[in-house]
Amino acid sequence: MIRRATASDVPVCANLMLEHPVWQSYGYAFDDQCERLNRLFSDRQVLIADNDGAIRGFIVFDTRTLGDNGYVQLVAVDSRFTGNGIGERLMKAAHAAMAPLQRCFLLCTSTNVQAQRFYRRRGYVKVGELPDWLQVGTTEYVFCHYHIQSSD
């Protein structure tokens, strides 16, 4: 089931990220990750993929980006359960929660080819690049979906 997040979900979500190879390279500590997620969970909207009390993934989004547009800030699925449609369900739920907005942005690191394919297959197109964004030497690709309410 997809449900709204609460502050008590933060430690499990922090662990889920720290155990994922995509984020391990950043070397974040657990407490710092919890602090980061606590801020995000209070500032943004967050949905959780919950399987009988076990958190399988989560998505963080906002509806006030570059004017009144959607923005998916973070989507993460437990690395033991990727490729099972959980990410797809989280994206669809976030798109539905953004209604009636049509446009949605997100950033994806240039080296994260798997996530880029995931976004492209769901209708996102690359519209720009942000060099030296998260770290000097790494580039974030800017993706946009122009019709999130009609594609799902």
Binding-site ranges for ligand COA (CB under 6 A): 20, 22, 74-77, 82-88, 108, 112, 115, 117-118, 121
Q: Judged by CB, which is closer to ligand COA: 86, or 94?
A: 86
Q: Judged by CB, which is closer to ligand COA: 100, or 123?
A: 123
* Least Cβ distance, residue 66 to ligand COA (angstroms): 18
Q: Judged by CB, which is closer to ligand COA: 85, or 131?
A: 85
CB neighbourhood size of 122 (10 A): 17
* Least Cβ distance, residue 46 to ligand COA (angstroms): 14
Q: What is the maximum alpha-carbon separation in the chain? A: 41
* Least Cβ distance, residue 118 to ligand COA (angstroms): 4
Nearest residue by C-beta to ligand COA?
Answer: 87
Are 141 and 116 contacting, i.e. CB atoms less than 8 angstroms apart? yes
Q: Judged by CB, which is closer to ligand COA: 100, or 121?
A: 121
Reading the block at residue 17, the tokens are 């990220």
* Least Cβ distance, residue 51 to ligand COA (angstroms): 12
DSSP H or E run through 128:
strand 125-131
Burial class (CB in 10 A: 0-12, 13-18, 19+), 112: middle
Q: Judged by CB, which is closer to ligand COA: 115, or 142?
A: 115
- 76: nearest Cα among 6, 17, 142: 17
* Least Cβ distance, residue 56 to ligand COA (angstroms): 8
Reading the block at residue 41, the tokens are 């969970």
Reading the block at residue 121, the tokens are 């297959």
